[in-house]
Chains A and B, each alone.
Chain A
Amino acid sequence: MHGRVKIKSTAQQEEEKRKEREKKLKIYVAARDACFSKRNEGVWDDEALQLTQQLLSSNPDFATLWNYRREILMHLETVKDEDEVQKIYEAELSFLESCLKVNPKSYGSWHHRGWVSARLPRPDWARELSLCDRCLSLDDRNFHCWDYRRMVVKMSGVPVDQELAFTDRLIGSNFSNYSSWHYRSTLLPLLHPESPEPPSPCREPPQTSPPPSPQTHSHRVCEEQLLKEYELVQNAFFTDPNDQSAWFYYRWLLGRAEREEMISCVYVSRDEERVAVAFSRPVNAQSVGLLLVLDGQPQRVEWRSVHPRFKHSPVWICDLPPGTINDISNEHNLTVHWTEKHTHRDCALYTGRAESWCRDSATDQELFRSELSVEKTSVLQSELQSVNQLQELEPLNKWCLLTIILLMRALDPLGYEKETLAHFQTLKEVDSMRSAYYSDLCSKFMIENTILKMEYAEVRVFSISDKNLTTLCHLDQLLLVTHINLSSNQLQQLPPQFAMLQCLEVLEADNNSIENLEGVYHLPKLEEVLLKNNKISTLADLQPLASCPKLKRLDLRGNPVAQTLNVESELAELLPSVTDLLL
């Protein structure tokens, strides 16, 4: 009977598909070879244009063909008049549209579209914008399209407020969209910049400090708008606290202050005739124009970082010519100029003193609070309240816990220490995949708190034992420390940064898992190193200690290396200054 429906068997369908594929492949390969040989011959004709078009419409990710196509188009630009070029490029755009329909996430197609749009004699940006909007309405997270859209917006000068409204719309329909939030973060500072005067009565450093550079807060947003954004993003993370994009945006809103670029400390030692300088960020002192003036005389000195590993470092040292300051009855005035930043720091070495320094302490700078730069405590306090509210509803949400920790640190790092530690404990349990990250972060915060406590006490002893430290950081802040106690933590190494402790005399690090002493390197005053119950296994691991000239006492009990054959004689040879060795 005619017209009856029969369904083809699957085997039959498969066979047909296979044949189809074979046929396609043959055509494809032939066209590809033709293209390559034409390009080798340097032919830029219409046929090549057609061949590449044929290939690219089935495979828009063939970068070489796009390149060839651009070569042809650039050639045509030189031989055709403007109207013809316009026509060619418009045809190119409609061809690209069909490519994007095949694969809306093709790098090649989007890149080529950007290239064509930029070369089009009379571009129609409105059309390009509507193309992007259509594309984003199909997939609001197509980052290729986002990239291209940014270019279109830039070229066509779409007003910023219109773009902000665009992100409103996209976030409204689905707030799980990094691109929209990120775009917002670039638009807001343009539309609602922070007022130029400093937002809070930041305590001025005691010394005269240079005026804040105009760039310091350029990415910040005025407070009124900031409050609106807090509300918006809170709506998102209360609606879905497991969505990361809102939390990341929130982190951005809470912000990070950029530290002012300055010389934070100058230290001078009469014995070693050495000057150490600490900067607020890692620099390369050899190239930033650092100038040392001693008693009015510029000195020719060799700046070096504390460890050969570092090209950039926050701490740099130099040796003065022998005999310059070693007479204890002399007073000296020292100035370090950072000519590039038009800033300097003075330091006076008085009669009868073996050393001297001049600095801003971490407490003076509110250093560790500025991780979140919303300086208004009231704002932060109310933010903490709402996030705490969320935490009551979602006690095991990691983003919520982490945000609470950050807010607490911004508000009162020492006052909230106990709560912070408890939240870290919960975090490690609910997000065990990242427990090492949380441990490191917690270590960082514990170190910051200890630095603050030390500086409030105005001592040079840094003691942080039994705090589950897994990592060391902020060591540039410990330039003046003479005695450090790191016992009973989970440290595995003393990293190269450890060499910044230029004044260190006693190092206590019993009961850790240290197997690497790389950072105990050229510490001129170090006399005592206590490393009981660690994991130092070979003599080679102890090699860095040989660079510390004053080392007298070394405790290696409970380390594998203590069991090595002839360890005592080997050590005597390696560390001749050590007189008190415990194995």
Chain B
Amino acid sequence: MAAEDLPSEFDVVILGTGLAESVVAAACSRVGQRVLHVDRRSYYAANWASFTFNGLLTWIQQHQVKEAQDWSSLLEEGEELIYLSSSDSASISNLQVFCYTSEEDEEEEAQRPDAPNTTEEESEAADEDAVKETSETESSEGEEPEADQPHLSPAASQSEPTRKKISYAQLVKEGRRFNIDLVSKLMYSRGSLVDLLIKSNVSRYAEFKNVTRILTYRHGNVEQVPCSRADVFASRQLSVVEKRKLMRFLTSCVEETEEHQAYNGRPYLEFLCDQQLSDNLQHFLLHSIAMATEDTPTEEGLASTRHFLRCLGRYGNTPFLFPVYGLGEIPQCFSQVELLSPPLPVSLQVSMVTVPPIAAGRPAVRMVELSPSTMTCIPGTYLVHLTCQSVGSAYEDLSPVVTRMFRTPESHDRGKNCPSVLWCLYFNMADGSGAEPEDHDLPSNVFVCSGPDAGLGHDHAIRQAESIFQKILPEEDFCPPAPNPEDIIYDGDNGSSSTAGGEEEAQEEAQEEAQEEAQEEAREEAQEEAREEPQEEKEVLEEASPPAEE
């Protein structure tokens, strides 16, 4: 569409394509607002972005440029220089890159009979005054798991005694097949994001994978956390009595009781101790299911346990979903979701690992291991994100965990049976939940979205989007269900849509006219809709809200 054909008047202007911004944009256009959605970056989704390996390298370069470019020569008489682009660089800090694999292709490493593992890591960083959050990403190649224990990244095939280590050159060459998220999040299957996708009745266009297992790091081993009924039944590490106690505890959690209330304000750990649960049950319940710390109060611990349990079993054996092609998909295609996932073969596990503080004063680390089935990394590698509330820099906080759980040059003998790291990025990113819009002295019709928060789910961003939407349009519904395509009547088609052929014609006509009258109709969606050929059902949707920007 030529520039002169673009609409020139808008009801809502949205700067930035982060998750909250995109949800607000979609919600506004859904109720008929004219929306202009722009982003000054060359990529979508700000700090919610997802990059190819090469894209990530470019992003790193951008953030490593220390000196701001000197624009003063371009100033004309009476003009003043205002820096606009400081926000992103301010939110990212302590960026460090490590490459543990060779630059060029290597010959087979014949001296190692066990399959060598390769890991790629990536890290991002951002600081804010009080709260710091660190996240680190790493992708690793699987290796032979030990007999009984769940292991990170089991190898897809053990048939080859030696395998070529993946080289950096190969990573760059196949870099387009990576989708590396800046933030590591999972979708709670009954979280506000999934609910929103379903509620708005447009949840048919993106594809999701189940997180297939929840693991935890305990006594130097990675153990599977039994959380569903089937897991508890199959678990080999729990005694039958523990199984009963765990099931009973989980069942009793669902409803709040007076006993629970009696523990309000006291640590959740104390509550767990008093339930006569064994040490490993306490560990699972505290660190992996409630994802709490030893100081978390009981009411909070119980609330997150309930949330976890509510999400369990909706789409598989864990409470979490991960969008294929990475989280960066979500802001982009906010309204296109397909919640279907065939069970993954064992070699394609998607794992969530909780690592409790390895020493006093250290942060608890959350780790998400993505297999190639999520289309975030190339076959033979895994992409691993590690995230924590920062104490020091990303490297200080996370490298001890990396060294313990993976093989790097620093791990010496310890990492013998662990997957090895190929490439690794550390950085800090500011915790967006700290930035309150009220902090800014802004005109009453300007609202501020924050960047990603440190939480595992998306609730913060969705809540923020809903609250902003309600400030803009207090009378309107937030993302009302889209109509069923069969129930849509087009003006001029007289309701005679009994035959499929007639319907199609009507649709085509409507589409043409919709394009002509795009300005008048003024329905816009700040989303790229052109990724795939439209299906029948989708055409209807597009007509309802024709894409404005291509």
Interface residues in chain A, defined as those with a beta carbon under 8 Å from any beta carbon in chain B: 1-8, 13, 172-175, 234-236, 238-241, 386, 389-390, 393-394
B344 to chain A, nearest CB (A): 13
With an 8 A cutoff between CB atoms, is B244 at the interface? yes
Q: How far is the CA of A131 from the CA of B492 in the complex (A)?
A: 47
Q: How far is the CA of A238 from the CA of B241 in the complex (A)?
A: 7
Query: Which residues of chain B from 216 to 234 have any CB-CB distance to chain A below 8 Å in the complex?
Result: 229-230, 232-234
B543 with A3: CB separation less than 8 A: yes
Which residues of B are found within 8 Å of A7, using beta-carbon distances?
483, 487-488
B488 with A6: CB separation less than 8 A: yes
Which residues of B are found within 8 Å of A2, using beta-carbon distances?
490-492, 509-510, 513-514, 517
Centre residue among B229, B248, B543 by max chain A CB count within 10 A: B229
In the complex with contacts A2-B514, A3-B513, A394-B244 CB distance below 8 A? yes
Query: Which residues of chain B from 477 to 503 have any CB-CB distance to chain A below 8 Å in the complex?
Result: 483, 487-492, 495
What are 19 A-B pairs with beta-carbon distances under 8 A?
A1-B491, A1-B520, A2-B509, A2-B513, A2-B517, A3-B490, A3-B491, A3-B514, A5-B483, A6-B491, A7-B487, A172-B234, A235-B233, A235-B234, A238-B247, A239-B247, A389-B241, A390-B240, A390-B241
With an 8 A cutoff between CB atoms, is B521 at the interface? yes
- Dominant SS at the B interface? helix
Which residues of A are found within 8 Å of B248, using beta-carbon distances?
393-394
Q: How far is the CA of A332 from the CA of B433 in the complex (A)?
A: 103
Centre residue among B234, B492, B514, B521 by max chain A CB count within 10 A: B234
Query: Which residues of chain B from 498 to 550 have any CB-CB distance to chain A below 8 Å in the complex?
Result: 509-511, 513-514, 517, 520-521, 543-544
Partner of B487, one of A8, A174, A240: A8
B408 to chain A, nearest CB (A): 36
Q: How far is the CA of A253 from the CA of B248 in the complex (A)?
A: 26
In the complex with contacts A3-B543, A173-B230, A239-B244 CB distance below 8 A? yes
Q: How far is the CA of A241 from the CA of B230 in the complex (A)?
A: 14
Centre residue among A1, A172, A239, A241 by max chain B CB count within 10 A: A239
With an 8 A cutoff between CB atoms, is B243 at the interface? yes
Q: How far is the CA of A234 from the CA of B241 in the complex (A)?
A: 10
Q: How far is the CA of A175 from the CA of B229 in the complex (A)?
A: 9
Q: How far is the CA of A236 from the CA of B495 in the complex (A)?
A: 56
Q: How far is the CA of A526 from the CA of B491 in the complex (A)?
A: 98
A22 to chain B, nearest CB (A): 14
A8 with B241: CB separation less than 8 A: no
A-B contact count (CB 8 A): 78
Centre residue among B240, B488, B492 by max chain A CB count within 10 A: B240
Centre residue among B243, B248, B514 by max chain A CB count within 10 A: B243
With an 8 A cutoff between CB atoms, is B245 at the interface? yes
Q: How far is the CA of A6 from the CA of B487 in the complex (A)?
A: 8
Q: How far is the CA of A3 from the CA of B495 in the complex (A)?
A: 13
B250 to chain A, nearest CB (A): 11
B340 to chain A, nearest CB (A): 13
In the complex with contacts A2-B513, A238-B240, A394-B244, A8-B233 CB distance below 8 A? no
Which residues of A are found within 8 Å of B230, using beta-carbon distances?
172-175
Which residues of A are found within 8 Å of B245, using beta-carbon distances?
393
In the complex with contacts A1-B491, A3-B513, A7-B483, A240-B229 CB distance below 8 A? yes
Q: How far is the CA of A8 from the CA of B496 in the complex (A)?
A: 13
Q: How far is the CA of A235 from the CA of B232 in the complex (A)?
A: 8
Which residues of A are found within 8 Å of B243, using beta-carbon distances?
235, 238-239
A42 to chain B, nearest CB (A): 39
B416 to chain A, nearest CB (A): 31
Which residues of B are found within 8 Å of A174, using beta-carbon distances?
229-230
Cβ-closest 5 pairs across A and B: A238-B240, A3-B510, A239-B233, A3-B514, A238-B244
A21 to chain B, nearest CB (A): 15
Query: Chain B residue with minimal CB distance to A236?
Result: B233
In the complex with contacts A234-B240, A394-B244, A8-B514 CB distance below 8 A? no
Which residues of A are found within 8 Å of B543, using beta-carbon distances?
3
Which residues of B are found within 8 Å of A236, using beta-carbon distances?
233
Which residues of B are found within 8 Å of A3, using beta-carbon distances?
490-491, 510-511, 513-514, 517, 521, 543-544
